[in-house]
Structure 1
Amino acid sequence: MTTATATGDATQQSQPPAKKRGRPVLDESESIRQELISQSARLFRKKGYDNTTVRDIAAAVGIQSGSWFYHFKTKQDILVAVMEQGMQRSLQEIEQLSLADLPARLAFQRLVEVHLNTLLAPDHDFIAVLLYEWRSLDKPARTRIIALKDRYETVWEQAIVALHASGDWAMPTPLDKLLMFGTLNWTAQWYRRGTGISIEELAAQCVQFILRTKA
């Protein structure tokens, strides 16, 4: 063996092992966490929170039941995560609208369209879970979700004030607002995409029904 060869071998042996390619561990962990939230939302909507087990969720994601607890301590924690993610997405959607630049009625209709799209999109189970599993939350969790809900309703309140000022909604009462959200949210029980009416057409008819006036 020559000196040069020996030196080259020693250099190769002293070099650190090459790093494995692929996503960092943190990214993989976050990906699993998001899949847990998504699959949990789907199962909670389909089976109900009480009837969905940790095993159901783990099986849907394709992980062992024990691995589930690395990301969430309890099933209550994941229910909160589902609702928070749903509200945050909804907030992001409506806060991106430039409502101040639109006539009051059109601004209101844009809000209705976004609300319905968020509620009725085939892969959006989050808001439906929020609507129908609210009683499953413990008191501290409700406080967190209510804070997001208040931000969401503030945008609507501003639009309703503009409607009143423009004369499009003569005298909206607190009961009117409850009936408004009740009307919109109930569409999750019966609306099916591809059955003859688009979200935009549905939104226009909802606006006409809520305001009791034609455009």
Structure 2
Amino acid sequence: MPRRKAEAGLEPNRRSELLRAAARLFVEKGFDATTTRDIADAVGMRSGSPFYHFRSKQELLKAAMVEGLDAGYGRLLAAIDGIADPGQRLRILVRTHLGTLLEEECHSPMLLGETRALDAAAHAEIAAAFDRYQQPWQATLDQLAQAGRIASAASPVRLLLFGMLNWCKHWYRPDGRLSLDQLADSAVALLLGEPPAKEDGKSSSP
């Protein structure tokens, strides 16, 4: 379905700002409790302006999730390009995912619980975007299992890994003593049962 004329006229930066603000508010307050005014105030628009560009809050939620996941997928592919070793690739996937969550302030992975507000067509679009995002993870876990470096690459392993990483959003402090590199090393060490990687002769563990 073609986008509405008003949506197509929204400047890319403003569109991105609107989607980012809506996603943040949906995470912080919940989809049902977030109002049109809340979203508009967050980006300095009039209270009804977001819905000149998106037909409904539901459309905003779907777009925030799909576009956020697809942007994250693009970052993953760029980060692991040319990386053959699955252990190294897993570490890069984890670090990139944490960067998306905690540095890029992408809230898409945190919004899965709000999809109950969406219709079947929106669910299908989000599921397709999430499937794309999971592909390099599953391929990497499969290689690690084939090499005997993890016991299983079954889908619960991947989903548990996502759950662990996404939960960092609730407790990680950028001004704390743990860097994102150290956090990524610790997560990979937990999964592989290996000591965290060392850099310049020093352990990167906390």
Q: Which residue of 2 aligns with 1:113?
A: 95
| CA distance in 1 between partners of 2:82 and 2:106 (Å) | 30
8 Å contact from structure 1 (residues 120, 188) kept in 2: yes
Instruction: Check 1:101–1:175 CA distance in 2 against 1; reply closer, same or farther (3 A cut).
Output: closer
8 Å contact from structure 2 (residues 79, 96) kept in 1: no
Instruction: Check 1:175–1:125 CA distance in 2 against 1; reply closer, same or farther (3 A cut).
Output: closer
8 Å contact from structure 1 (residues 83, 129) kept in 2: no
Q: Which residue of 1 aligns with 2:56?
A: 74
Rg larger in 1 or in 2?
1
**What's the CA shift for 1:162?**
1.6
After the TM superposition, which residues 55-94 of structure 1 pair with which residues of structure 2 at under 5 Å, given as runs? 55-94=37-76
Q: Which residue of 1 aligns with 2:107?
A: 126
Greater percentage in helix? 1
Instruction: Check 1:170–1:32 CA distance in 2 against 1; reply closer, same or farther (3 A cut).
Output: closer
- TM (norm. structure 2) is 0.82
Q: Which residue of 2 aligns with 1:153?
A: 134
- TM (norm. structure 1) is 0.79
Instruction: Check 1:98–1:56 CA distance in 2 against 1; reply closer, same or farther (3 A cut).
Output: closer
Say if 2:53 is the partner of 1:53: no
8 Å contact from structure 1 (residues 88, 148) kept in 2: yes
Say if 2:116 is the partner of 1:135: yes
Deviations, residues 187-208 of structure 1 (Å, cap 9, x unaligned): 1121111211111110111011
Among all aligned residue pairs of Structure 1 and Structure 2, give the percentage whose two residues are the same amino acid. Answer: 37
**What's the CA shift for 1:30?**
4.1
| CA distance in 1 between partners of 2:40 and 2:27 (Å) | 16
Q: Which residue of 2 aligns with 1:201?
A: 182
Shifted more, 144-153 versus 133-142: the winner is 133-142
Say if 2:145 is the partner of 1:164: yes
Say if 2:172 is the partner of 1:191: yes
Q: Give the secondary-structure state (helix, strand or coil) at the position aligned to 1:142.
A: helix
Q: Which has the higher contact order (CA 8 A, sep 6+)?
A: 1
| CA distance in 2 between partners of 1:68 and 1:161 (Å) | 43
8 Å contact from structure 2 (residues 54, 60) kept in 1: yes
**What's the CA shift for 1:38?**
2.1
Say if 2:181 is the partner of 1:214: no
Q: Which residue of 1 aligns with 2:15?
A: 33
One-letter code aligned to 1:124: E
Aligned residue-pair number: 189
8 Å contact from structure 1 (residues 118, 127) kept in 2: no
Unaligned runs of 5+ in 2: 1-7, 197-206
Q: After the TM superposition, list the runs of 4 or more consecutive aligned residues in structure 1 that deviate by more than 6 angstroms.
A: none
Q: Give the secondary-structure state (helix, strand or coil) at the position aligned to 1:143.
A: helix
